[in-house]
């Protein structure tokens, strides 16, 4: 009987640890790995970053220039179930097959008017000072982007090699999964 008590004690302790670490990963902090070169030179391919999840948990808007993790599947709504199933512990059991999480920089918030001319980004008529970008942006457009309520506009620092809001559109606030806090 004493052996079963020890086994039960170990099982319940391990179960509690899994639950607590899952809750921390869903609501507080989570590691991500950079995939690709869209954030060069700020972040590099395969680099590990840590992301604060509480802005997502409390639906807080990120600040201009914040580096965020986004769910690029903007054509579908998200739920708490997505957050649970995307937890790193569950990814060990059931990994996502497609690359859906992008790491990008916040360029526009609701109401901002963005234009792309002279190889620069203009927000509300003012050119952005962007010392973090890799090289001069080749992209220019006659289109004007006005960020709608409940959304943000994101871009990679490697503007010439980044799939971002210019391609996938505005990012709903609930698709901003967290804000990078380290490195």
Q: Half-sphere exposure of 173 toward its Cβ, with a 13 Å CA cutoff?
A: 17
166-183: per-residue pLDDT in tens?
999 999 999 999 999 977
132-149: per-residue pLDDT in tens?
998 999 998 889 999 999
**Residues recognised as catalytic:** 38, 104
Bigger pLDDT: 17 or 146? 146
Annotated domain spans of the chain: 2-182
Mean pLDDT of 71-96: 76
Residue 38 near residue 162 (C-beta atoms within 8 A): yes
Query: Out of 52-56, 87-91, 153-157, which region has the weakest mean confidence (pLDDT)?
Result: 87-91
CATH 2.10.109.10 fits 2-182, yes or no: yes
pTM for the model? 0.84
């Amino acid at each position: 009987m004493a052996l079963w008590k020890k086994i039960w004690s170990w099982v319940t302790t391990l179960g509690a640890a899994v639950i607590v670490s899952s809750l921390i990963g869903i609501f507080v902090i989570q590691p991500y790995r950079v995939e690709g070169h869209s954030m060069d030179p700020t972040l590099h391919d395969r680099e590990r970053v840590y992301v604060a999840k509480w802005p997502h948990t409390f639906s807080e808007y990120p600040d201009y220039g914040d580096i965020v993790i986004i769910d690029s599947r903007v054509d579908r709504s998200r739920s708490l179930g997505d957050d649970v199933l995307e937890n790193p512990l569950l990814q060990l059991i059931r990994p996502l097959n497609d690359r859906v999480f992008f790491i990008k920089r916040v360029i526009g918030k609701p109401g901002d008017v963005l234009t792309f001319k002279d190889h620069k980004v203009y927000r509300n008529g003012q050119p952005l000072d962007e010392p973090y970008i890799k090289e001069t942006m080749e992209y220019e457009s006659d289109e004007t982007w006005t960020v709608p309520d409940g959304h943000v506009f994101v871009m990679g620092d490697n503007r010439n090699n980044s799939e971002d809001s210019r391609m996938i559109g505005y990012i709903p606030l609930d698709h901003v999964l967290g804000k990078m806090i380290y490195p």
